[in-house]
Chains A and B, each alone.
Chain A
Amino acid sequence: MVNWQLIAKILGFLLFIEAGLMMLCQVVCWLYGEGIHAFIPPIAAALLLGIVGVIVGRKAGKKMGRKDGYIIVSIVWVLFTLIGMFPFLLDGHVSDVASAFFETMSGFTSTGATIIDDLDSMPKGLLFWRSLTQWIGGIGIVFFTIAILPAFGMGEVKLFAAEATGPLHDKVHPRISMAARWIGGVYVMLTILCVAALMLCGMNAFDATNYALCTTATGGYGTHSALLGDYYNSPAIEYVLIFFMFVSGINYTLIYYTILKGKLKKFFADAELRAYLIIVLGASLICTVSLALGDPMYDVEASVRHSLFTVISLQTTTGLATVDYTLWPVQLMPVLLFVMFAGACSGSTCGGFKCVRLSIIYRVLKNEFTHILHPRAITPVRMNGNIVPNSIVQTLLGFVALFVCSLFLGAFVLALSGVDPNDVHPNFDYYEAFGIAMSSISNVGPGMGYYGPVHSWAILSPLAKYVCSFLMLIGRLEIFPIMLLFTRSFWKKG
């Protein structure tokens, strides 16, 4: 049975958190003397709904079923987006609901695709809200809540299971709330280091904070519409961002063990990290060679820097850009699409398919070949020396199927919904639709063709924006939790 009262209560608590976050942005508005009060009505709404939820759930039993966890996690991401879009609408920088919903969902899922053409004229409070949604969404709304609320005390395990990414979960502490605090500590530390590093490279405090929030969240929102390379033209900033994007793509549990427990050996022996490194280095190498040889614009250092930046930015699904990679030699497009699909490590803030799954698939394939030659050999799949149970390999298979189906279906609907024919870019190419779908489901940000890092996605039709939002949501929660709600057996009694 679904325990609706408990769900209402927990959602109520979560809404208080969102109200608190928006309050922070309102304070930023006041600090910068921007006469904007766009956050006040949504804060009031969140508080009101939160109180209603807590009152409805005041008599709720403490027992949380597996279903309840999935329902809460699915609802909370949509609910946060619905309330979080009001500042954009009320302030008037975004005129229609579809766009505001898209922008906020892109924030919370740490995708980074935007429909705002001119960021530089946006009020600072709103820019900070965009960055903050990414930072919270990057680590996970529920995860964030478990980490900061000391006495949450209600079915954390189930909530955690519904939101955590990747097929294998490693705990750093016996209790989830403590584990969340440690991992959250790593996250905060990375963010602070990133702010400091960016400021040392000459960014002002506000930009540094925003870029740091969006980088460690592997989100990709920024405070300027222009490309990073054009706006700052500072290799130092780019190298700093390369480093922090790369680190944010590593499994935080692994970072925790390396930094706090000094297990450096474990770090480099990790199978997923190796796969991540191989893909990053391989793809960067291909890009570097292609650019250095094929494009007179780039010298060797620039080729290396831009290749690394673009590959890491796309693979960690951050989506920041120094140059417009859509203008690169055409043979690099499949490479970039692949890294967008691959994503970085599970247990990090990135999206995409995740290296651990690729690594498992590689091992399954290797076993298959062994099996053809040695039909009677017992060949378990091993990751880091532990045997991966067959059930996990099976789930992985299901995930691949769902991922591919969602991708193609998404691209199909996007191509069908089209763009406004009177707009600047009236034609919608199939590879653009595909790029948008891939970018959305992998939570990257920029896509292919016109929809690359230079232009916003403002010209998409409202339907296309909703489709993209949905793809981002299922991509962020790794498809199963959302799809589960659409199955009949989920709602059947018993």
Chain B
Amino acid sequence: MKIVIAGAGAVGTHLARMLSNDHQDVVLIDADENKLLRWGNELDIMTLVRQPTSVNGMRDVEVNHADLFIAVTPNESENLACAMLAKQLGARQTVARVDNYEYMKPENIELFKKMGIESLIYPELLAAEDIMTSSRYSWVRQMWEFNNGELLLLSVKMHDAHPIYEKEISNKNNQLVGHTLKEIGVTYGHNFHVVAIKRDGETICPHGDEQILPRDLVFFMTTKENLTEIRHLTGKDDYPAVKNSLLIGGGKLSVRACWKLETIHDSVKIIEPDKKRTEELQSLVSPKTMILEGEGYDVDLLNDEGYGSTEALIALTDNDQQNILACVAARRRGIHKTIAQVENLDYFDMANDLDIGTIINKKMIAASHIYRMLLKGDVDNVKMLTIGNADVAEFVVKAGSQVTKKKVMDLRFPRGVNIGGMSREGKSMLVNGSTQLQAGDKVVVFCIDNTLRKLDKFFK
């Protein structure tokens, strides 16, 4: 598949990397030569210095042969213009990144299709969804639902107190740490599956002899009724439920996040230093949300309004350092759930080390989303985890496909693939080695390192 990406910013280059690893023919264009210089030598792609909105430039990259054109320059109108241009010149599919909520409304989809832009992506909206999924429970890092919430995939940190946090976070009650997966399976039956472990920045697909260590981030697959058991086993009984959340920074992302959070939390507060912006915010969010004027590092204000009465702190200012520090400070005050926006990818690992619950990076989210759109042709529902290079996909088992012929353990799946659970006739259950899949089953598969593509032949 030939894919042309306009704009060699963070989103464009991240996408180029994912797609070229996937053996697609990627052409990356940008008007700025310096931005391209590095990537031509690093990735198996073609880089060309062209103005994305130039007709001649588009002809040079032979956009008429492109199966997909992705416009992700920093400029919204440029994205729209070059996506339309690409479509008119013969690109099969076009995607453009926008900055405007209005464009995303369902009633406007037709309008943009008429203009020649098949899909729009709005990173803030996607990020807001991520914030919502990860701020539901204080003891869960992130949770994804399948089959109407019957089947759950969740990641939980096996805590060891981090030296920088005064208030010790207890690890005593965790009954999983130090045991191998085999032992856990024997002791606790088949109420849940450990599908992956993230350790020292690497995601591994564990086998039976793998031990769970302190500080691991463990991905569990389970059904709804066993959620409390996992909570108990990981020693997180004393973690309070998230009822109140506090947002620092009143930018666009905060507004989108606020809309989502209002639906699941009792109260949402936003701290914003700029008086003018606070006035704007009043008309953007519902009256249920309290808007506070002040700085996110104002300790008095946080003591008054935040620390005692909130269970989740979400720092979304434009300043990465301030976001990270706000979360660290909140952790020291005993707030379990912290979410920080970190746009600088170099800070990513550091923020992870500081035990910030969820790190939101709009660019990565946007890139993953586009990648997901490409995969969607093959699978019914793909979720991409931004933490760790993993994909979670939902397949519908077709009659006569390979997977129906043998038991799961005899199927010889590629390494890095783990079937977590499935739903059969509306009922959710976990999958183990002796499960026999049937046509019509909906299976949730966890794949590490781009193994997703290799699964096609098993399910077709």
Contact = CB atoms under 8 A, between A and B. Distances in A.
B37 interface: yes
Interface string B28-68: 00000100010011111110010000000000000000000
A65 to B, nearest CB: 11
A178 B43 CA distance: 14
A174 B41 contact: no
A394 interface: no
Interface residues of B, number: 16
A58 interface: no
B360 interface: no
Contacts of A409: none
B49 A173 contact: no
Contacts of A169: 40
Contacts of A175: 20, 23, 25, 44-45
A161 B44 CA distance: 11
Interface string A146-186: 00000000001100010000000101011111100000000
Majority-rule SS of B interface residues? mixed
B2 A174 contact: yes
A421 interface: no
A58 to B, nearest CB: 13
B257 interface: no
Given A386-B49, A389-B37, A174 B27 contact: yes
A176 B44 contact: yes
B26 interface: yes
Range, interface on chain A: 10 to 19
B49 A174 contact: no
Contact of B46 (A174, A177, A386): A174
Given A178-B25, A389-B33, A171 B46 contact: yes
B43 A157 contact: yes
Contacts, number: 31
Contacts of A178: 25
A178 B25 CA distance: 9
A160 B185 CA distance: 48
Nearest to A178: B25
Contacts of A389: 33, 37
Nearest to A153: B23
A177 B46 CA distance: 12
Is the contact region of chain A dominated by helix, strand, or loop, or is it mixed? mixed
Nearest to A179: B46
Interface centre among B25, B43, B46, by most chain A C-beta atoms within 10 angstroms, is: B46
Contacts of B42: 157
Given A174-B2, A175-B23, A156 B46 contact: no
A260 B46 CA distance: 19
B172 to A, nearest CB: 37
Contacts of B20: 174-175
A156 B43 CA distance: 9
A174 B19 CA distance: 12
Contacts of A171: 40, 46
Contacts of B49: 386
A176 B25 CA distance: 10
29 contacts: A156-B44, A157-B41, A157-B42, A157-B43, A157-B44, A161-B41, A169-B40, A171-B40, A171-B46, A173-B25, A173-B46, A174-B2, A174-B20, A174-B25, A174-B26, A174-B27, A174-B44, A174-B45, A174-B46, A175-B23, A175-B25, A175-B44, A175-B45, A177-B44, A178-B25, A386-B49, A387-B33, A389-B33, A389-B37
- 4 nearest interchain CB pairs? A174-B25, A174-B46, A171-B46, A157-B44
